[in-house]
Amino acid sequence: MILIHACCAPCVSPILDELNDYHVFWYNPNIHPYREYLRRLDTLKKLRDEKGFELIIDHEYDIQKWLEKAIVLNKKNDVLRCRFCYADRLEKTARYAKEHGYDSFTSSLLYSPYQKHELIKEIGESLSKKFDINFYYRDFRDLYPKGDEIAKRYGLYRQGYCGCIFSEFDRYGGRE
């Protein structure tokens, strides 16, 4: 059994069609603002209701703690910020998977062509060793068109930025 960290419904949807024995895990304290967090979670629940998979929800959302760490790292460079964010979510997933008897873990972050794919892979492999659990690696980016199709078919909300306030600004505000 594999535990799939889901960043959002559109990204996890095509992965579900590729795997057989899985549960989906929601943990995303990086998503801002909070209404966006709730909208993405509601969309994932809608997909669960349509497809009938097991969804485990970790509601931890400590905005102050997350932002304090992300702001310090973002001042240095956005790769450090993203490393922290990926590691935070993947570590929570790996720990949960190990503690609850899963064979492996993975993430829908491996689906998006906009994510730092090699960094996600590196972190997943490191956590695999740390928790003595298999990190299921696959480059899911080839499924990107299928994810768009599934999102349209089920009427899933598709966000325009990764999730954190910095990625929202990068997408809509730009950098001077």
pLDDT tens, position by position, 30-49: 999 999 999 999 999 999 99
Distances (CA, A) of 130 to 23, 123, 134: 21, 10, 10
Nearest CA among 77, 147, 151 for reference residue 116: 77
The single-letter DSSP state of residue 62 is -
At 167, which CATH number? 3.40.50.620
pTM for this one?
Answer: 0.93
Domain with 167, as residue range(s), is 2-172
Domain count for the chain: 1
pLDDT, one tens digit per residue, over 7-27 is 999 999 999 999 999 999 999
Q: Are 18 and 143 in contact (CB under 8 A)?
A: yes
More confident residue, 53 or 72: 53
Give, to the nearest 10 degrees, the angle between helix 9-18 and helix 34-51: 30
CA atoms within 13 Å, Cβ hemisphere of 116:
16
